[in-house]
Amino acid sequence: MKILVTGGAGFIGSALIRHIIAHTEDSVVNVDKLTYAGNLDSLGEASSSPRYAFAHVDICDGSALKRVFDIHEPDAVMHLAAESHVDRSIDGPAAFIETNIVGTYILLETCRFYWQDLDAERKGFFRFHHISTDEVYGDLEGPGALFTETTPYAPSSPYSASKASSDHLVRAWHRTYGLPTLVSNCSNNYGPYHFPEKLIPHMILNALHGKPLPVYGNGQQVRDWLYVEDHARALYRVVTAGEVGETYNIGGHNEKRNLEVVETLCELLEEMAPENPHSRANREGGFRSLITFVKDRPGHDLRYAIDASKIERTLGWKPEESFESGLRKTVAWYLENESWWRKKGSDPF
């Protein structure tokens, strides 16, 4: 297959491309605008493969997108390009509306006209896989509740509302035009190459530099954490074996309070970076003394948790990493890859 991946220089997109190049015989076309969070260095050795190509294109540019389709003639599209940071969506929602809603519409239309012109065999083989988030469901009430594929949408932030809108567009293009689409909604991802404004890398890098570790509210917000390489395996499974028109929830089975995540990171850093001047060996209280509670985010959802039984039952996928093993790998990667997070000559945290 030749797979066109939008947002392939981002966190999840780059993990997906690394997985495809390393573990399959498929080819990849990476379509990315290269915004602040896009980094081609995140592709590692995959970028030197003869089965990899890059197109510096904004999904909101329909003419440029059509040229990419005409040149590369993909067999599938995996759509990850999105503005994704909740705080940024609160401060400036316009970019989220433009990329996540308008960009998805333009991509869908480009795919629709391309797909309609394919011969019968290729038309039947083509897939459009839209990658979304569990945040479209809002938050959960009660400790035992889980998001399923039929949970009603109740987004709380401009970010989650824009992603909910794009999900609805994808399903409408399947129902109205017959475009062979699939949707997946994932829980919080973490792992190597994560842009440092997100919770886990932000806390790691702040701790290493003795900066405050800001925790919203009382830190009791619960998230289900999914190691990004497990997610990449799931996404490939969905696009190659999923049933057209279906939705698949992808979760890590790792519900943790935000404060618990930060405290675990501090303990790992005490073990893995004991020589750091801010560790317990060199500072009273160690890394934990840097934890600072700050005013909560507006509209902050309290709890997310995914029921991932459908993808396990129907497609045979389940996560390989526990939260403990994945978090240890993540901390080790940031300790060993300073050159990546200091790209462009400045600290991005």
Sign of the CA dihedral with 257 first, then 260, 266, and 271 last: negative
> Among residues 52, 137, 159, 248, which one is catalytic?
159
**What's the Cα-to-Cα distance from 244 to each of 231, 247, 250, 307, 337, rounded to whole Å?**
19, 9, 17, 20, 39
Amino acid at 262: V
Distance CA 278, CA 6 (A): 40
> Among residues 32, 58, 83, 135, which one is catalytic?
135
Distance CA 130, CA 164 (A): 11
For residues 47 and 66, the answer to whether their CB atoms sit within 8 Å is no
**Tokens coding 253:** 């089975």
**Residue 134 annotated as catalytic:** yes
The DSSP code sequence of 43-85 is: GGGGGGSTTEEEEE--TT-HHHHHHHHHHH--SEEEE------
**Residue 193 annotated as catalytic:** no
Of 85, 14, 80, 88, nearest to 47 by C-alpha is 14
> Among residues 32, 58, 134, 270, which one is catalytic?
134
**What's the Cα-to-Cα distance from 321 to each of 13, 190, 243, 326, 344, rounded to whole Å?**
19, 11, 26, 6, 32
**Which residues are annotated as catalytic?**
134-135, 159
